[in-house]
């Protein structure tokens, strides 16, 4: 059995989640992350592209050559998609979080807003 | 929308961001400058459409925080992995990146009356703070030119004819000078703090 990988940073987790269903460009990733987190996570361009660079190096994502529709899209945009390694890392992280949630529920930790 | 942003404001904002992007390491700029500009352009337009000038201000507050976080991260990355854009010795990068916080620390000490009271507060009567700020600025500018010269003159084989000189000047500007000032200032600061 291989050792479980280190926990993902919040930025990496959010980006992987945003790419789980389709490939996106930087702005698309940012919008999806904002939507998923209810605007709780607002990444700037520096953080986003720095994280994407390190994720590319780690093989979690890859650049996509495909363009959904060149007529509608800017050629300068770079599209990214999740790799099998990225999908595996994401699944591991979600499982880790599920274990944490189960442990918190077992300890009867209330949800915020609940008495 | 109370205060709509004009096209000029939006374009000016994007031009400023393009300038700010040149602070990132060259290797990072080579790959990500265009997509980052494109992303900022998208964010800017959306914010201006949604909330006018307030939106642009919000984007800049967010961008300033983003720069504070991502710039050091990219430079640390550069130290760890080396700079693929030129053969500048890693040691030079380390010296400069160690020196910048030292100088910044000194400047903060020099201008912050909370730490050193009236002793080094910049004023006409006590010019030490201004001297320090001026010295830091001159050193940063000098080091910037040394850097440019060093990176131009490094040979493709990696042997740097001016490497040693650049290392000497950089370490003097960025490590020796601030270290001397810290040694000189340290006891004074401690005395004032203990007073």
Query: Is residue A29 over pLDDT 90?
Result: yes
User: Look-up: residue for tokens 């990988």?
Assistant: A5
Least Cα separation, residue A39 to chain B (angstroms): 13
Q: Say what the pLDDT of residue A4 is.
A: 57
pTM: predicted TM-score of the whole model, two decimal places: 0.65
Q: Say what the pLDDT of residue B80 is.
A: 67
Query: Is residue A37 over pLDDT 80?
Result: yes
Instruction: Give chain A as a 3 state SS string.
Output: CCCCCCCCCHHHHHHHHHHCCCCEEHHHHHHHHHHHCCCCCCCCHHHHHHHHHHHHHHCCEEEECCCCCCCCCCCCCCEEEECHHHHHHHHHHHHHHHHHHHHHHHCCCCCCCCC
A10 phi and psi angles, rounded to 5 deg: -55, -40
* Contact criterion met (CB < 8 Å) for B70 and A46: yes
Greater confidence (A44 vs A112) lies with A44
Residue B64, token pair as written in the block: 């300033």
Q: Say what the pLDDT of residue B91 is.
A: 63
Q: Say what the pLDDT of residue A81 is.
A: 94
Average pLDDT taken over every residue of chain A: 85
Q: Say what the pLDDT of residue B158 is.
A: 41
* Contact criterion met (CB < 8 Å) for B38 and A77: yes
Greater confidence (B12 vs B161) lies with B12
Sign of the alpha-carbon dihedral angle for B116, B121, B125, B127 = positive
Average pLDDT taken over every residue of chain B: 70
Is residue B174 exposed (0-12), middle (13-18) or buried (19+ Cβ within 10 Å)?
A: buried
Measure the CA–CA gap between B183 and B188, rounded to whole angstroms.
9
* Contact criterion met (CB < 8 Å) for B73 and A43: no
Average pLDDT over residues A76-82: 86
A26 vs B28, B39, B74: nearest CB: B39
CA B50 to chain centre: 32
Measure the CA–CA gap between A104 and A63, rounded to whole angstroms.
38
Q: Say what the pLDDT of residue A60 is.
A: 93
Query: Is residue A98 over pLDDT 90?
Result: yes
Interface of B with A in 89-118 (CB under 8 A): none
């Amino acid at each position: 059995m291989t050792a479980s990988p280190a926990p993902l940073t919040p930025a990496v987790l959010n980006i992987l989640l945003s790419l789980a269903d389709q490939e996106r460009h930087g702005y698309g990733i940012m919008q999806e992350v904002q939507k998923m987190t209810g605007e709780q996570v607002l990444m700037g361009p520096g953080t986003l592209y720095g994280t994407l660079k390190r994720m590319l190096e780690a093989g979690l994502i890859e650049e996509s050559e495909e363009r959904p529709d060149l007529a509608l899209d800017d050629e300068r945009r770079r599209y990214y998609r999740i790799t099998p390694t990225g999908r595996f890392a994401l699944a591991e992280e979600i499982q880790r979080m599920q274990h944490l949630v189960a442990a918190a529920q077992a300890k009867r930790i209330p949800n915020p807003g609940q008495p | 929308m109370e205060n709509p942003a004009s096209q000029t404001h939006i374009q000016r904002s994007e031009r400023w961001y393009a300038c700010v992007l040149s602070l990132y390491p060259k290797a990072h700029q080579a790959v990500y400058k265009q997509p980052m500009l494109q992303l900022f352009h998208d964010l800017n337009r959306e914010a201006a459409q949604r909330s006018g000038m307030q939106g642009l201000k919000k984007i800049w507050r967010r961008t300033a925080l983003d720069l504070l976080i991502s710039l050091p991260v990219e430079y640390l990355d550069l130290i760890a992995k080396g700079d693929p854009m030129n053969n500048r010795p890693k040691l030079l990068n380390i010296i400069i990146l160690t020196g910048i916080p030292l100088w910044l620390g000194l400047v903060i000490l020099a201008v912050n009356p909370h730490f050193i009271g009236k002793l080094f507060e910049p004023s006409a009567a006590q010019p030490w703070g201004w001297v320090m700020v001026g010295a830091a600025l001159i050193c940063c500018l000098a080091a910037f030119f040394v850097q440019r010269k060093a990176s131009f003159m490094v040979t493709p084989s990696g042997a740097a004819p001016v490497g040693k000189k650049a290392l000497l000047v950089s370490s003097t500007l960025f490590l020796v000078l601030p270290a001397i000032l810290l040694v000189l200032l340290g006891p004074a600061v401690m005395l004032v703090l203990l007073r």
